[in-house]
Amino acid sequence: MKLKVDEKNCLVIEDAPSYLMEGTSGLIDITLNGKWELTEDCDLKFTISEKERVLSGKTLILSGEIENVDANSLSFRFRESTALDGAETSTLTIAGVWQADKNNRITFQVSKNNADTDILTFQGAWKIGKKNELIYIYKKCYLKTKEDEDKKIIFNGIIELESGKIIYRVEKSDTSFFSFSARLKSNELSINSKTISYEVGITYTEKISFKSLLRTVEISGVWTIDKSLKISFNVVSINGEIRRIEFGIKRMFKNNGSISLSLIDRRGYDIGLNLELAKKFLDNNAELFMSLNKIGNNLSVMGGMLIMY
């Protein structure tokens, strides 16, 4: 017997013995509806629907590890036993959508044929790496060694910053993205700052009890502003591509030769961040300084257009 997942995310038992299903003979394939879950140890759990004729209500736990995550899929590697070959390694791939839940946890939502959705919840914290990849680390205990081993799941994607949120759009997907509630650690940054730091609260379960942690998440990049007043924070992705997080300007403040810009996101909402352009920076960027002087103290800049308040 072998296990696979079909296009409707049903579990299929291939080459199953006919005694499992009355009225059949020889080896048969059995398709089962049920509920997919993820255990605390990141093993894959499938509970067979009570409506099924075969193995109804039974629970199958596949012990293994997450092999790969893609834009709209999750692959799980496990060992299964066969009569002829003994134990061998197999992989199941489930289709779905990556999302964040209200507790800032990573989830994978599995669409079903009956319009239900199963949610695989990753209990633990995530971080953003030096190349702006999204990293989830979990511990896996192996029976042979009795020791925990760190395992990583890595997403590549595009970061967007909105008022009170970090948006992480998974690469090559129009539907998979994480929207994390977040708070800026500092509301004042210099044009020379190399990181934007947020505090993110994550609530998760461990041994049936709820736990919370507050994690600092840092996004690495370089600020740019041109004479047309287009502002962006340029980040380098894991594959070396430069991606721009774009901002507009809500207000401008002058102070002893320096200028502070109050920023808005691409939707026009205040993100609570002021970007300081020091006198030395302005002295070295004369055209930019002239552009800023022309537009006065109260302005909005979106997509290169200036609109006076």
- Write the DSSP string, 160-221: EEETTEEEEEETT-SS-EEEEE-EES-SEEETT--EEEEEEEEEEEETTEEEEEEEEEEEE-
- Between 206 and 60, the higher pLDDT residue: 60
Q: How far is CA 264 from CA 164, 167, 179, 247, 293, in A?
A: 12, 15, 18, 6, 20
Span 66-88, mean pLDDT?
82
Quote the radius of gyration of the chain (alpha carbons, Å): 26
Residue type for position 167: I
Residue pLDDT, tens place only, 146-199: 777 889 999 999 999 999 999 999 999 999 999 999 999 999 999 999 999 999
pLDDT at 81 over 70: no
- Between 60 and 143, the higher pLDDT residue: 60
Q: Which helix (H) or strand (E) holds 290?
A: helix 286-294
Pair 8, 32: CB distance under 8 Å: no
Secondary structure of 27-52 as H, E, C letters: EEEEEECEEEEECCCCCEEEEECCCC
Residue pLDDT, tens place only, 225-265: 988 888 999 999 888 899 999 999 888 888 888 999 999 99
Residue type for position 282: L
- Specify the pTM: 0.86
Closest CA to 161 of 98, 242, 244, 240: 244
Pair 218, 205: CB distance under 8 Å: no
Pair 259, 275: CB distance under 8 Å: no
pLDDT at 303 over 70: no
CB atoms within 10 A of CB 147: 9
Pair 216, 198: CB distance under 8 Å: yes
Cα dihedral: 64, 175, 222, 300 (round 10) = -150
| Angle CA 160–163–167, to nearest 5 | 30
Could you write out the DSSP letters of every residue in 75-132?
EEEEEEEETTTEEEEEEEEEE-EEEE-TTS-EEEEEE-TTS-EEEEE--S-EEE-TTS
Residue type for position 197: S
CB atoms within 10 A of CB 259: 20
Range with the largest mean pLDDT of 122-126, 133-137, 235-239:
133-137
Rounded Cα gap, residues 130 and 221, in angstroms: 9
| Angle CA 228–229–234, to nearest 5 | 115
